[in-house]
Amino acid sequence: MTDFSIEDEIQYLNLLRFALDKKSVDPGIFYIGTDGSKRFGDEKINLVKTLDNSWHVFLADRGNVIELAEHQSLYRACKDFYCRLISCPSPWDFRSEMEATLSR
């Protein structure tokens, strides 16, 4: 696990918030929690620091945690969180296009 000082962590999270604002992501659809508690934003995509200093990225739906990803690195957690919010394409987004190309 990469150890970050609290100042580094704050800087990463401020950069993340800045980038989301630049992409016009509605702050009402996400929650960032760094206090290690079990609190999270319901009906939102969450980035939450756990008591063991790992980071969880997940969707909360009616109190249920969905699509949980656990990250030991704040960098990877921020990247996952950001991509979920701005819908970065993944290789799976191109699967049907690839299959259509291969079937020709």
Residue type, 90: S
With a CB cutoff of 8 Å and minimum separation 6, the contacts of 57 are 45, 46, 47, 48, 68, 69, 71, 77, 80, 81, 84
Per-residue model confidence (pLDDT) at position 92: 67
Domain regions of the chain by residue span: 6-102
pTM of this structure: 0.78
Both structure tokens of 37: 């508690």
- Mean pLDDT of residues grouped by 10 in the chain (104 residues)? 76 95 94 82 91 92 90 94 85 77 80
Per-residue model confidence (pLDDT) at position 1: 45
